[in-house]
Every structure is written in C-alpha cells, then in structure tokens.
Amino acid sequence: EAQVTQNPRYLITVTGKKLTVTCSQNMNHEYMSWYRQDPGLGLRQIYYSMNVEVTDKGDVPEGYKVSRKEKRNFPLILESPSPNQTSLYFCASSYRVNQPQHFGDGTRLSIL
C-alpha cells in the first residue's frame, strides 16, 4: 500500500531534549517536505527536499534540521526543542514538487 509513515504519532517531551521525527515513503517519490500546522495559521513549510542530498529551507526553518540520505526517508530533527515548537507536524511526498502531495498521518508534539 502506498503510504507516508511518520513516527511517533504523539510525543510529549521537555525543553532542550533532542528529538527526531521520522518520515518514510514507499512510492519512490523525489520530493518530500515537512509542514507544521497551527490553529489559524494553516500549513507552514519547514523544510523540503527535491531529491537525495538536496534540501532547502521553507518558511519556518528556525530550530529544525533535516537530512535526506536516502530517497525514502526524510527525518525532522529538533536539536533543542522549545515550547513554541509545540504543534502538529505533517510529512508529505510527491513524484515532483508540482504533483499532488501524499501526506502522513501527522505527529503531535508537545514541548513542555
């Protein structure tokens, strides 16, 4: 089954404790991206990747890192999480950036 898998789905953690949210797709998509969704602000792009080893900042990259060492994986890293990063995060992928996006089920992060 074609899917985008995010883990964990829910996480409560404390300020400053490094965490990684994994994202994996099984559709051989070149384009992957991370979004955060906050009430009233819609979807804001954090980082995106056009292909392996090619990543770039989105609209709200501060406090986040990503890597794309393999085509299928695109982890989101919070080196030193802060409460303002409490949000719902979505990973998405597509064959190309101009194609329909396939979204993961989301990861709800709470940073205390």
Partner 1 sequence: AQSVSQHNHHVILSEAASLELGCNYSYGGTVNLFWYVQYPGQHLQLLLKYFSGDPLVKGIKGFEAEFIKSKFSFNLRKPSVQWSDTAEYFCAVYFGSSYKLIFGSGTRLLVRP
Q: Is 53 a residue that touches partner 1 (CB under 8 A)?
A: no
Q: Is 29 a residue that touches partner 1 (CB under 8 A)?
A: no
Q: Is 27 a residue that touches partner 1 (CB under 8 A)?
A: no
Smallest CA-to-CA distance from 29 within 71, 57, 65, 70 is with 71
Q: Is 41 a residue that touches partner 1 (CB under 8 A)?
A: yes
Q: Which two tokens stand for residue 65?
A: 């890192």
Contact footprint for partner 1 (CB under 8 A): 33, 35, 40-45, 50, 90, 92, 97-98, 100-101, 103-106
